[in-house]
Amino acid sequence: MNKHKRLLINISSIGETGRHVCGSLPACTFEIKNIEYLECSKPIDYNLDITIVTHSVLIKGHAKTLIKRQCDRCLAANDCTIENSNVCHYVLITEGKVIDLTDEIREDILIVFPQRFICSESCLGLCKYCGQNLNINTCKCSEENDSGKIWDKLNELNL
Ligand SMILES: [Zn+2]
Ligand SMILES: [Zn+2]
């Protein structure tokens, strides 16, 4: 595991009425190497309510981050908010006085990573003929192909 900042909670600091904890974990917590179509370079923000329930610690709240992800349709990198508002953990108090929630929060975020991501519902994607990103620019391919001009051009060659 990494040696960077971790989310440590001292059990004695929780108190009878519980404790509210918010803050952020650095992007390196992801332990994901940035690759071409996925970039996790923003911290993970968390907002948690921590209470002691008999011999356990109950953690509820939400975690959120912003990643850059390639759009499945136009392949452009876009910001994508990743949010889990159902963070819920139940940690048994054993001998230690401090609990480490870093891995829990990391998993809460990883579990809600989108399988599919479209930058916008109206994303036009790429031209299937020339690969132009149609959100940025138009091309004449569909015009040419739809009207059968491509065949006219071949005919002009008199093969
Ligand atoms: Zn797109
Ligand atoms: Zn095109």
Q: Are residues 119 and 147 in the same domain?
A: no
Output the pLDDT for position 1: 46
Task: Average the pLDDT over each of 48-57, 93-102, 129-138 and give the range with the smallest value.
Answer: 93-102
Q: How far is the CA of 120 from the centre of ligand 1 (A)?
A: 6
Determine the pLDDT at residue 31.
80
Interval between CA 115 and ligand 1 midpoint (Å): 15
Q: Is residue 133 part of a domain?
A: yes
Structural domain boundaries, residue 150? 124-159
Separation of CA 154 and ligand 2 centre (Å): 18
| Segment 41-87, tens digit of pLDDT | 899 999 999 999 988 999 999 999 999 999 999 999 989 999 999 99
Cβ-based burial of 16 (10 A; exposed 0-12, middle 13-18, buried ≥19): exposed
CB-CB contact of 71 with 118 (8 Å): yes
**For the residues of 34-90, what is the DSSP string, one character each?**
-BTTEE--SPEEEEEEEEEETTEEEEEEEEEEEEEEE-TTT--EEEEEEEEEEEEEE
Question: What residues sit around ligand 2, an ion, with C-beta below 5 angstroms?
Answer: 127, 129-130, 132, 139, 141
Does residue 43 lie in a domain region?
Answer: yes
- Ligand 1 centroid to residue 22 C-alpha, Å: 33
User: Could you tell me the end-to-end alpha-carbon distance of the chain, in angstroms, rounded to an integer?
Assistant: 66
Q: pLDDT-based confidence at 2, cuts 50/70/90?
A: very low
Say whether pLDDT at 39 is over 50: yes
138 CA → ligand 2 middle, Å: 7
Q: Are residues 107 and 131 in the same domain?
A: no
pLDDT of residue 123: 96
Ligand with smallest separation from the Cα of 75: 1
Q: Which long-range contacts (CB under 8 A, 24 or more apart) does 40-43 make?
A: 40/65, 40/67, 41/68, 42/66, 42/67
What pLDDT does residue 28 have? 86
For the chain, the domain total comes to 2
CA of 159 to the centre of ligand 2 (A): 25
CA distance 141 to 72: 21
- Ligand number nearest CA of 73 is 1
Mean pLDDT over 100-106 rounds to 93
Q: 30 in a domain, yes or no?
A: yes
Distance 70 CA to ligand 1 centre (A): 8
Q: Provide the 8-state DSSP code for 116.
A: S
**For residue 104, pLDDT beyond 70:** yes
- Cα 157 to ligand 2 centre (Å): 22
